[in-house]
Structure 1
Amino acid sequence: MLTSAIMVVFPLCLAFAAISDALTMTIPNRVSVILLATFAIVAPIAGLPWQDYAMHFAAGLIVFVVCFGLFGIGVMGGGDAKLLTATAVWFGLNMELLDFLVAVAMIGGLLTILLVICRLPAFAIYRFGPVSHLLEPKAGIPYGIAIGIAALICYPQSPLVQMVLLHH
């Protein structure tokens, strides 16, 4: 049951957040709450040492402070900031977090370039369907997509997953 929570909750939450952001340009607060609460409960039960547990929350705090600043100046959405913070807690304060953040930046950059190109007037004919709002010239960038994809790519190397795989 514990292994299932570690191996299923995180990927499902990130996939849901990415899809929600693509379809509605919002990431429900409950996704970040579920991520934080699940980590808070399962990490110590899984055997994560208390000092490592604290460092995971320190990672979240650092990411939150940076994201809060970016949100304050209008560069980042609130849902993205909360999701990035909750996700950082699962990675912890280590190189895997840095790998994840670099992946978010790279995937987010590619997503931005793709959306900017698709928003050009020449592509106006293709603006239909469930994600047509993403192609509107004034629409924002649904960074939850980049966060979700990067998290799913990097999660297998995260400390909690590695700990579970080594013990089972």
Structure 2
Amino acid sequence: MTEAAIFLIFPLCLAIAALSDILTMTIPNRVSLILAAAFVPIAFMAGLPPAAICMHLVAGAAVFAACFALFALNVMGGGDAKLLTAAALWFGYDPSLAAFVVYVGIIGGAVTLVILGIRMYSDVILATGLPVPHSILTAKKVPYGIAIAIGGFLAFPQSPLFLAALEAVKS
């Protein structure tokens, strides 16, 4: 049961956040809340020691502080900051957190370039009949939830919770 929750909750929340961000340019608070609230009970059920769980919480707080500063500087949206913080809980202070942040940065740059290209050539793209969400064409911001989700998908197999669940499934 715990393994199923680990393999399901994190990716599902990220997928919902990305899809919502693409279509509406918002990430629902309940997605980040579910991701954050599910972490502690799942971590205990997965057998992570209390000290490790505390380090995951510290990592989440550190990411929150960085995201809050970026939000205050109007560099990052509030939904992105909450999603990134909630996702960071699942990585903890582990090399997988660094991988997650690097993936999000690289993919975020690529997503930004693609969105800017779509906006620049929107007449040509729409003339081809390709369906493009209206929010992608008109919003002044970039749906960074896409990068957070893809970065999470790429880094998650290295995370302590994923590895614990994988070990439990094997035995």
TM-score surpassing 0.5? yes
Aligned residue pairs total 166
TM-score, structure 2 as length reference: 0.92
Aligned counterpart, 2:158: 157
How high is the sequence identity, in percent, across the aligned residues?
Answer: 49
Supply the RMSD in Å over aligned alpha carbons. 1.3
Could you tell me how far apart the structure 1 residues matched to 2:123 and 2:140 are? 14
2:11, 2:153 within 8 Å by CA — same for their partners in 1?
yes
Aligned counterpart, 2:67: 67
Cα distance, 1:130 vs. partner? 5.2
Could you tell me how far apart the structure 2 residues matched to 1:118 and 1:61 are? 35
1:23, 1:130 within 8 Å by CA — same for their partners in 2?
no
Aligned counterpart, 1:139: 140
SS at match of 1:96: helix
2:56, 2:90 within 8 Å by CA — same for their partners in 1?
yes
Cα distance, 1:113 vs. partner? 0.8
Q: Deviations over 1:93-148 (max 9, x none)?
A: 1110000000000000001111112211x432434745132123x52000000000
Could you tell me how far apart the structure 2 residues matched to 1:70 and 1:17 are? 20
Could you tell me how far apart the structure 1 residues matched to 2:114 and 2:55 are? 36
List runs of 5+ in structure 2 lacking aligned partners: none
Q: Deviations over 1:64-83 (max 9, x none)?
A: 00000000010000000000
TM-score, structure 1 as length reference: 0.94
Aligned counterpart, 2:116: 116
Aligned counterpart, 1:24: 24
Q: Deviations over 1:14-73 (max 9, x none)?
A: 000000000000000001110111111110111001111000011100000000000001
